[in-house]
Structure 1
Amino acid sequence: MTKKLTTEGKYTYAEAGEGPAIIILHGLMGALSNFDTTFNHFSSNGYKVLIPELPLYKLPLLKTNVKQLSKFLKDFLEHKKIDKAILLGNSLGGHIALYFTKQYPENVSSLVLTGSSGLYEKAMGDSFPKRGNYEYIEQKAKDVFYDPKIATKELVDDVYNTVNDRVKALKTIYIAKSAIRHNMAKDLPEMQQATCLIWGKQDNVTPPEAALDFHKLLPNSDLFWIDKCGHAAMMEQPEEFNKILASWLASK
């Protein structure tokens, strides 16, 4: 479904369904297709679901940061004439959702975070990106998941090509440093939006203690664990992820 993309001006996105809007925000190395199962499920069950392609490698270098990506999201919502949305973010996408909520709380009805950065300073990887070494990149990609087979050759090749593109590698570093700079710990207690935290118990990137900290700091949050699951729950355990999220949304 997410292969059917629409392009309008500077925006490229997938959209389907009718109802309350869910905006899905992908991670730094995350393809839109990572959310295929979630996109299909919720767009078929009473929600309008949109996944914009974030301009991670299209912004000028000095504007390649969490703040500008949040501004891009604001512009996208205005372009789509969406006043209020549920924001669902994984990894960097969760961080952008949080920063957006800090800046534009009136546009956020609720938050869904899975493996989000924003608190844990190694969320973008300790020594990543390291160029040239395919085996190293392959191992780093496998470490993202509980089941290393999720890191297909296609996925590893995409990451390898990104970090071996000099401009993309530099922008990846700028985004990672921006994520560390924009730590959200002081802002979270001010966020009153209902928040669903769905976390893999074996997340090595944003580990369980990060989820516990989010739960402690966000005043209106619920925390759900998925076992045998790493950093990208919506990819690794999509049915369980959708079941948890559907039940949570129905309760609000």
Structure 2
Amino acid sequence: MKQVKLKKISLYIILLLLIVISTLYIIPVQKKEFSELYNDNSEIQASLLHFREYPKTKLKIEGIDWEYLSIGNGKRYLLFLHGMGGAYDIWWQQIEHLKKDFNIISITLPEIHSLTEVTNGIVTILNKEKIDTVTVIGSSMGGYIAQYFMSTYPNKIYKVVLGNTFPPNDIFKTKNAKLRKLVPFFPEWLVMSKFKENVTTTVIPASENSKLVEAYLIEQYSGLMSKNQFIGRFDIVLEYFDVQRNTIDKTIPILIIESENDPLVPVTLREKLKSTYPEATVFSFKDKGHFPYLNRPKEYNSILYNFLNSTLQTKQEKE
């Protein structure tokens, strides 16, 4: 009888644990909108909300739904690529500034897990929009994708801007390999809460304690980005590739934008990026953090505009 009772008690405990665990997994991510999170500057808030009203294009590529903004005027084309915690609209202050002179594509990365998938999607979008060559502007993960795209499809690249990013390396993979294996097993709300905590404690202090940076990123981790999207972006950042420095690459003007106090890109990787592209022009922000295009948009826009409209000599031409 005692054994039967013990078995029943064990069964009840197991069932209780299963219920508790199941409950943890069905807890939804607490959603918060930008308008709730940011009220420092009504003009900036209104500008972003208005920007989000522009119609976006949806396109199914290899069974995956992509979404992007196509806007602007002019004969030159720009492609904006966001970082891990962003979307197409993280660049709105740059796009609004440049759209009168350029045709612009800005994408939101769906759930994909490799650099090959990203570039296939980009090429499909460019073909649909009948764009032969484009200037790619990428920050963080977006800058990493830009390097792979430049290395894989140099004939489609006119210029490249690599903002607050890193070259191919094994540092991130060594540091994050265990975390990558564990993330799929964590509830979505826990994953997002941990990264919101990192935003608050690490990213924001380095970004001049910008309420704009904080509000935008917290909104992304509060329901706009799914856990599966995040895992896919994690995979892209950790994927290694060899930079192909062929003759065509060296004719492409490159601008590297960095911040001296970037908390997400260590100095060793910033230096490696510059040595990987020694012909690049480099601009360094002082104490502006990982998102200078958000917290210092006027300066960033000016840097971009000057580079986009410059007639830089390539390394080959100098030689």
Normalising TM by the smaller chain, what interval?
0.7 to 0.9
Using the alignment, how far apart are the partners of 2:260 and 2:229 within structure 1?
A: 31
Per the TM alignment, residue 245 of structure 1 is displaced from its structure 2 partner at its CA by 1.5
Aligned residue runs from structure 1 range 100-139, under 5 A? 100-121=149-170, 126=176, 132=190, 136-139=194-197
Q: Name the structure 2 match of 1:158.
A: 220
- Residue 73 of structure 2 corresponds to 18
How far, CA to CA, are the matches of 2:87 and 2:304 in structure 1?
20
| Residues paired across the two proteins, number | 240
Alignment partners' CA distance in 1, 2:72 and 2:223: 33
Helix, strand or coil at the partner of 1:52: strand
The 8 Å contact of residues 15 and 50 in structure 1, kept in 2 or not, is answered as yes
Structure 1 residues not aligned, in runs of 5+: none
Contact 1:3 1:14 in 2 (8 A): no
In the aligned structure 1, how far is the partner of 2:87 from the partner of 2:126?
A: 20
Tell me how far 1:153 sits from its aligned partner: 4.7
Matched, 1:39 2:113: no
TM-score computed with the length of structure 1 as normaliser: 0.82
**Structure with the larger helix share:** 2
Say yes or no: does 1:246 pair with 2:305. yes
**Secondary structure class of the residue paired with 2:165:** coil
Residue of structure 2 equivalent to 1:177: 238
Q: How has the CA–CA distance of structure 1 residues 83 and 2 changed in structure 2, closer, same or farther, with 3 Å as cutoff?
A: farther
Q: Which residue of 2 aligns with 1:4?
A: 54
**Contact kept? 2:137, 2:162, Cα under 8 Å:** yes
What is the deviation of 1:122?
A: 5.0
Query: Following the alignment from structure 1 to structure 2, what is the Cα–Cα distance between the partners of residues 7 and 87?
Result: 19
Q: 2:106 aligns with which of 51, 58, 62?
A: 51
Aligned residue for 1:109, secondary structure, equals strand
Counterpart of 2:168 in 1: which secondary structure?
coil
1:187 equivalenced with 2:248 (yes/no): no
1:38–1:121 Cα change, 3 Å: farther
Q: Hey, what's the Cα distance between the residues in 1 that align with 2:90 and 2:304? A: 16
Alignment pair present for 1:89 and 2:146: no
Question: Which amino acid letter does the alignment assign opposite residue 212 of structure 1?
Answer: E
Indicate if the aligned counterparts of 1:141 and 1:151 stay in contact, CA closer than 8 A: no
- Runs of 5+ consecutive residues of structure 2 not aligned to the other structure: 1-50, 61-65, 312-319
8 Å CA contact 2:71–2:104 kept in 1: the answer is: yes
Which residue does 1:141 correspond to in 2? 199
Cα distance, 1:213–1:204 mapped onto 2, change above 3 Å: same
Larger Rg: 2
Change (3 A) 1:223 1:208: farther
CA distance change for structure 1 residues 247 and 156 in 2, over 3 Å: closer, same or farther?
A: same
Deviations 1:99-145 (A, max 9, x none): 11111111000100101233354568845767627764333113234
Moved segments of 4+, more than 6 Å = none
